[in-house]
Amino acid sequence: MFKVLFFGDVMGSIGRKAIQKTLPSLKKKYKPDLIVINAENLAHGKGITEKILRQMQEAGVDFFTSGNHVYSKGNADQIFASNEFDIIAPANDPRTLKNFGYKVIKLGKNTVIMLNLLGKTFIDEQNIDCPFKTFDKLLKKVKKHKPDYIILDFHAEATSEKVAMGHYVDGQIDALLGTHTHIQTNDARTLPKGTLYVTDIGMVGAQESVIGVEKEIIIEKFLNNSKIIFNIPLSGEVRINAVLLELNEKGSKIKLINEKTVI
């Protein structure tokens, strides 16, 4: 049995503090072999920094996936190129450096491949390649490593695109985990050909917010089409969304995790 504890998008300092506070008890409870977070919102809602990634490593995080916002701080290329962190970005985003859309992880006797792809529907980014066709190319490449398990973080907005991708990859990889919408979906399941699936893991962020941002800002956006400023609550109740993958050749399982803490 190989266990992966995978957290949804971690939103700003309140999300980081929640990881630091609760990860020790979650590790004790679930005993994961690998701990992963989606990191694209770590730095005040958009982007990453070396300091923040180190904080998360010190808290016990092993690996980082991301999404379109990972490039918001303008330093992502340098972070990737430094090889200090086990982090990937969407392989079909033209900003992603070559071979940083996936990574080979060796843990004991297990070889795990982490993949990252970005959806196209309702995603406000330019020149994104087709995630389905990019997946086909990636799969051919990573199979050369003879992995025991393959996990895909599909960072996408539209539920229909995520469900379609789930069926497209079913039987070819071990798990497809949706990220980006920050709302945990109640559809964690095993697809017909054996791939574990959830439309969205959710987030680690302020409960009394709109997907992690101060609710008043988003309400004002809907009322008056005002500009969204990524102000994130600094304290209060935090929603901790994750999934636990139990990977096994004899039959794998996916479990939704939905916890709370106060910062």
Catalytic residues: 69
Q: Are 117 and 82 in contact (CB under 8 A)?
A: no
Strands 110-118 and 149-155: parallel
Q: Whose structure tokens read 């923040």?
A: 52
Q: How many residues does the chain have?
A: 263
Q: Are 217 and 205 in contact (CB under 8 A)?
A: no
Q: Are 197 and 190 in contact (CB under 8 A)?
A: yes
CB atoms within 10 A of CB 153: 27
Side by side, which strands form the sheet with 189-190?
A: 102-107, 110-118, 149-155, 175-179, 196-198, 189-190
